[in-house]
Amino acid sequence: MTAPSAGPRDDAAVPGFWRELGIPGAIDLHVHFMPDRVLRKVWSYFDLAQTRVGSRWPITYRDDEDTRVARLAQLGVRRFGALAYAHRPGMAAWLNEWLAAFASQVPAAVHSATFFCEPEADADVARALEAGARLFKVHLQVGAFDPRDTLLRPVWRRLAAAGVPVVVHAGSGPLPGRFTGPDIFAEVLDAHPDLVAVIAHMGMPEYRPFWELALRHANVHLDTTMVFTDFAEDLAPFPRDLVPELAEHPGRVVLGSDFPNIPYRYAHQVAALSGLGLGSAWLAGVCWHTPARLLGDGADDRAPAAPSR
């Protein structure tokens, strides 16, 4: 069966779309939850996007935390990576404490963590893993650190041995950084071939080299965050001739959205993926089966979406 090319017309139609695909809902690996004062600074950054990236970036889901958790449940998102990232030294440890507490209160949230390039990085990651973290996030453009730094070698080695995925913003979009781009992170993967990496935004705008990087490394995946939407197509269009290759290599793409920090409705991201015309089996893999596999026993058909607080 081929999924309808139009996809869900609005957010209310998204849960029915998952049912059409034959999956119990969605697992979105790229969702942001963080301390309120940190999130508000992120929103302030996007409020100035017109002068920074050349496009307006209104936050569609600028709601309080409980409302955002409830919204994801209404969308049929059964599990989500509650991602935060450190942008300076000394920040990762307390972010990880906050993320652990959040995951303990919100059953749908995948216990996530982060790290920064600092002497404490390996200890921070070790503590997070011991506490039960199942997903990590680092942002090379915002953090402005070199992932090849010797301080991070034990971190990548530890994560690779644990088999815990790390979502890495390594692409140069929406703005390039000193350590963004496929060549730099390729050196990390060459040194740690067992690392389970998820390249955020499919490596935007360096889509092709990051896709080729994924094909060279069995444990590298790409998340769909913002890609194929009208907004992203204006900023950095995805190569049309690369789309058929996505279907040829199922299991390499996972759902990501950037909720709540998106300038459109959640349904638009889902509809954009459906509009690729790659079929129900591919979509079901992207939106459920592949992220469930990456999370191991952290995701199953029973995973709740409602908060326990």
Q: What is the pLDDT of residues 76-92, one digit of tens each?
A: 999 999 999 999 999 99
Residue 2: inside a domain, yes or no? no
Residue 285: inside a domain, yes or no? yes
User: What's the rounded Cα separation, in Å, for the pair 193 and 181?
Assistant: 18
User: What's the rounded Cα separation, in Å, for the pair 174 and 205?
Assistant: 8
237: domain CATH number?
3.20.20.140
pLDDT at 273: 98
Residue 4: inside a domain, yes or no? no
CA distances from 20 to 23, 31, 80, 284 (A): 8, 23, 20, 10
Residue 261: inside a domain, yes or no? yes
Percent of the chain whose predicted confidence (pLDDT) is above 90: 89
Quick check: 308 pLDDT over 90? no
Parent domain of 232: 11-297
pLDDT at 1: 45
pLDDT tens-digit series, residues 164-203: 999 999 999 998 999 999 999 999 999 999 999 999 999 9
pLDDT tens-digit series, residues 270-304: 999 999 999 999 999 999 999 999 999 544 444 44
Which residue shows structure tokens 């789309």?
A: 243
pLDDT at 297: 57
Which segments of the chain does DSSP mark as H helices, in order? Answer: 14-21, 36-47, 49-52, 65-74, 92-105, 121-131, 140-143, 153-162, 182-191, 207-216, 230-235, 243-248, 266-274, 280-284, 290-295
Domain count of the fold of the chain = 1
Residue 123: inside a domain, yes or no? yes
Residue 303: inside a domain, yes or no? no
Residue 181: inside a domain, yes or no? yes
Q: CB atoms < 10 A from the CB of 264, how many?
A: 16
Residue 6: inside a domain, yes or no? no
Average pLDDT estimate for 196-222: 98
